[in-house]
A = this chain, B = another copy of it.
Amino acid sequence: MTSVLSIDARSGQPRDLGVTDSTPPQVAALTAAAVSAVPWLRAQGRTGRAALLDRIAAELSSSADSIVAAADRETALGVARLTGELTRTAFQLRFLGGVVRDGGYLDIIIDTATPDTPMGPRPDLRRMLSPLGPVAVFGASNFPLAFGVAGGDTASALAVGCPVVAKAHPAHPETSLLIAEAISRAVSAQGAPAGVFGLAFGYEAGIALVQDPNITAVGFTGSLSGGRALAGIASARPRPIPFYGELGSLNPLVVTSAAADERAAEIGTGIAGSVLLGQGQFCTKPGLILVPATASGAAVTTALADAVRRSAPGHLLTSQIAAAFTTSTCAVAQDPAARVLARADGDAGPGLTGALVVAVPAARLLDGDADGLLAEHFGPFAVVAQYADDGELEAVLAAVEPALTGTVLAAADVPDPALATVVELMSRRSGRVIVNGFPTGVAVSWAMHHGGPYPAATTSETSVGATAVRRWLRPVTYQNTPQDALPAELRDAAVPGLPRRIDGTLTIGQPVGLAGHVIGGSEHVAAGRLEPDPGRQQPG
C-alpha cells in the first residue's frame, strides 16, 4: 500500500495524507458506483443537475480558506492567485449549470413525418445529445482548482449527466482530497448517490481508470507526453473511448511592424507580464515572440528584457518541473544562433527559479533542426525571434506546431496592413486568435474555445466555455417513437426557452406542429426561419 504524500512546494517537505494509492479493486468499485449513479443524474433533469453544480460551488466557497491554504502549500502559486482561481471555479460551475438550464447544448433537431420528400415518405425523426456515461478526469498541475478535481472537466460532465471519477494530481493530493470532500458534501446534500463523484489516487490507478470498461470518456489537462500515452491506452482498449486531452503549446505571438512603431515599450512590458504570469506556468504562455527586425522591434525587445531582468525568481509547481525547466532551457540557450536576452536578476535561492528569455534571428527557426527553440518549455521562458519581412514571418508561422492560441499585437490607432494576414495565418493553426491582448487569460463564457489542432489538443473540442459539455455527449435519434417513450425535451409540447430546430426551422420554446410542415429536406432547402418563443417578450 503506497501512502499518498503531499509535498510542500516551497520547502519540499512531505506530509503523509493518511490515504493510500487506489488499488485495482478500489478503482473498479469507484467506476461501478459511477454506473449506478447514472439514473439519478438523468432523473434530476437539467435544472436538478444545475442545482447540484450550484451546491458544489457553494461548498467550495464555504471551504475556500482550507482549500486555498492547501493549494498554496502544494503549488506555491500564492493565496491571492488561488483565491481568484477558487472564485473562478465556483463561477464556472454556476455558468455550466446555466448552460444546461438553457438547453441549447442538447442540439435538438426534429423532422416531423411527411409523405412528401423527393426521396418519398420520411418518418418522424427526433435527435438530441445524450450523456455518454461515467467519465474519468485528470486535472492539471498548474491550475489546481479551475482545472482540478472540481474544474471545468468535472463541472461540464456532471452538468450533462455523466458521473465523474477524478484522479488526484500527484502534485496536489491534499487539495484534491479537500475539493472531493466538498463535492461529496454537495452530492449528499442534494440526495444523490455517492457514485456521482469519486476520487482515485496514484499513477497505476490512472491507467486503470482509462482502461476501465465502465469509463466512457477521459478528460485530461497536462503534458504532451503524458497525454499522448494515455490517449494511446484509450484508443487501444477493446472498446476505444474518446480522449479529450489539452496538452499545451508554444502559443506564438507576433508584433507587427506598425505596432512596434506605435508603442514598443508598452508592448515589450506587456509581453513580459504574460510570459511571467504564474511563473510562466500557463498552457497559454506565449513561448515564441516574433518581433520585426527594425529599430522599433529592438525597442520592444529591450522593454521585454528589462521587465524580465526585474522579475523575481520563484518556486515552480514541483521540483521535477523546476529541474526539467532548467535542463531544457539551458540546452536551448546553448543553440549556436541563440543569445541570452535576459535573466531574472534577483537572488535565485534554494528551490527558486528565475525567468530566462533568449533571442534568435527568425531564419534560425527555419533550419529544420530548431525543435528545441520551437518546443514548449513550461515555466518562465520565451524565445524572441526577429523576422526580416512578411515572407519570413509567414514561413516561421508555418513551421510552428498548431497551438492553443495565436496572438497578434497590431497598430491600434491606425489601420495595420499586416493584421488581416497574420490573423488568417494564426486562425489556420490555433484554437483562439487574440488581437491586441495577451493569451494568458481564458474567459469562461459562451464563445470561449480552449483547444486547438494537435499537439495543442487531442481532439477539436474545448475544455473551457459553454461548448465544453459537447465532449461528454453523443447524438441519439428516435424514429417514430410515441410521445410517452421520448425524453421530455423531444416531445411535441412546448418547452419554454428551449431551442429546437423543427422541420429545418430554428425555434425557441415552440411546440412541434405549430410551424406547420416546413420540410428541411426539400431539393432546395430554405434557409432556416426563426419561430420565436411566444412566452417571451420580443424586441421592437
Question: 0/1 per residue, A526-540, Cβ < 8 Å to B?
Answer: 111111111010111
Q: Which of B104, B447, B504, B523 contacts A528 (CB 8 A)?
A: B104
In the bound complex, what is the Cα–Cα distance between A536 and B529 (angstroms)? Answer: 7
Selected interface stretch from A185-193, A232-240, A261-269: A232-240
In the bound complex, what is the Cα–Cα distance between A232 and B501 (angstroms)? Answer: 36
Selected interface stretch from A123-131, A148-156, A312-320: A123-131
| Residue numbers in B under 8 Å from A446 (CB-CB) | 109, 111, 501, 503-504, 520-521
In the bound complex, what is the Cα–Cα distance between A420 and B484 (angstroms)? Answer: 7
Do residues A530 and B521 form an inter-chain contact, with CB atoms below 8 A? no
Q: Which of B103, B478, B528, B532 contacts A527 (CB 8 A)?
A: B103
Do residues A435 and B104 form an inter-chain contact, with CB atoms below 8 A? no
Selected interface stretch from A67-75, A196-204, A288-296, A452-460: A452-460
A366 is an interface residue with CB less than 8 A from chain B: no
Question: Which chain A residues in 499-520 approach chain B with CB under 8 Å?
Answer: 499, 501, 503-504, 506, 508-509, 514-515, 520
A373 is an interface residue with CB less than 8 A from chain B: no
Do residues B481 and A101 form an inter-chain contact, with CB atoms below 8 A? no
Selected interface stretch from A21-29, A327-335, A343-351, A437-445: A437-445
In the bound complex, what is the Cα–Cα distance between A427 and B432 (angstroms)? Answer: 35
Question: Which chain A residues in 456-484 approach chain B with CB under 8 Å?
Answer: 458-460, 462, 466-467, 473-482, 484
Do residues B449 and A477 form an inter-chain contact, with CB atoms below 8 A? yes
| Residue numbers in B under 8 Å from A434 (CB-CB) | 479-480
For A533, give the chain B residue with the smallest CB separation: B530
In the bound complex, what is the Cα–Cα distance between A454 and B237 (angstroms)? Answer: 11
In the assembled complex, how far is the CB of residue A105 from the closest CB belonging to chain B, in whole angstroms? 10
In the bound complex, what is the Cα–Cα distance between A540 and B462 (angstroms)? Answer: 40
In the bound complex, what is the Cα–Cα distance between A503 and B445 (angstroms)? Answer: 9
| Residue numbers in B under 8 Å from A527 (CB-CB) | 101-103, 496-497
| Residue numbers in B under 8 Å from A462 (CB-CB) | 475
In the assembled complex, how far is the CB of residue A217 from the closest CB belonging to chain B, in whole angstroms? 9
Q: Which of B98, B475, B479 contacts A460 (CB 8 A)?
A: B475
Do residues A447 and B125 form an inter-chain contact, with CB atoms below 8 A? yes
Do residues B478 and A443 form an inter-chain contact, with CB atoms below 8 A? no
A364 is an interface residue with CB less than 8 A from chain B: no
For A101, give the chain B residue with the smallest CB separation: B527
Selected interface stretch from A2-10, A86-94, A166-174, A384-392: A86-94
Q: Which of B111, B117, B431, B496 contacts A447 (CB 8 A)?
A: B111
Q: Count the A residues whose beta carbon is within 8 Å of the partner chain — how many?
A: 108
For A131, give the chain B residue with the smallest CB separation: B428
Question: 0/1 per residue, A96-117, Cβ < 8 Å to B?
Answer: 0111011110010111000001
Do residues B531 and A91 form an inter-chain contact, with CB atoms below 8 A? no
Do residues B95 and A423 form an inter-chain contact, with CB atoms below 8 A? no
In the bound complex, what is the Cα–Cα distance between A378 and B154 (angstroms)? Answer: 41
A430 is an interface residue with CB less than 8 A from chain B: yes
Do residues B443 and A130 form an inter-chain contact, with CB atoms below 8 A? no
Do residues A242 and B445 form an inter-chain contact, with CB atoms below 8 A? no
A80 is an interface residue with CB less than 8 A from chain B: no
Asked if A122 meets B445 with Cβ closer than 8 Å, knowing A419-B485, A432-B479, A484-B420, the reply is yes
Asked if A525 meets B98 with Cβ closer than 8 Å, knowing A436-B480, A449-B476, A506-B499, the reply is yes
| Residue numbers in B under 8 Å from A383 (CB-CB) | none
| Residue numbers in B under 8 Å from A522 (CB-CB) | 98
In the assembled complex, how far is the CB of residue A212 from the closest CB belonging to chain B, in whole angstroms? 15
Asked if A447 meets B485 with Cβ closer than 8 Å, knowing A536-B529, A539-B531, the reply is no
| Residue numbers in B under 8 Å from A1 (CB-CB) | none
For A478, give the chain B residue with the smallest CB separation: B433
Do residues A536 and B525 form an inter-chain contact, with CB atoms below 8 A? no
In the bound complex, what is the Cα–Cα distance between A443 and B521 (angstroms)? Answer: 9
Do residues A466 and B520 form an inter-chain contact, with CB atoms below 8 A? yes
Q: Which of B111, B437, B501 contacts A104 (CB 8 A)?
A: B501
In the bound complex, what is the Cα–Cα distance between A528 and B231 (angstroms)? Answer: 35
| Residue numbers in B under 8 Å from A125 (CB-CB) | 443, 445, 447-448
In the assembled complex, how far is the CB of residue A315 from the closest CB belonging to chain B, in whole angstroms? 26
Do residues A506 and B508 form an inter-chain contact, with CB atoms below 8 A? yes
Q: Which of B91, B118, B239, B520 contacts A454 (CB 8 A)?
A: B239
In the assembled complex, how far is the CB of residue A373 from the closest CB belonging to chain B, in whole angstroms? 19
Do residues B232 and A480 form an inter-chain contact, with CB atoms below 8 A? no
Do residues B478 and A524 form an inter-chain contact, with CB atoms below 8 A? no
Do residues A91 and B119 form an inter-chain contact, with CB atoms below 8 A? yes
| Residue numbers in B under 8 Å from A126 (CB-CB) | 447
A451 is an interface residue with CB less than 8 A from chain B: yes
5 A-B interface contacts by CB (under 8 A) = A127-B447, A231-B240, A427-B478, A529-B536, A534-B540
Starting from the known contacts A432-B477, A436-B480, 4 additional A-B residue pairs (CB-CB under 8 Å) come to A101-B525, A109-B467, A444-B521, A499-B528
Q: Which 5 A-B pairs have the closest CB atoms?
A: A98-B525, A497-B527, A460-B474, A508-B530, A449-B477
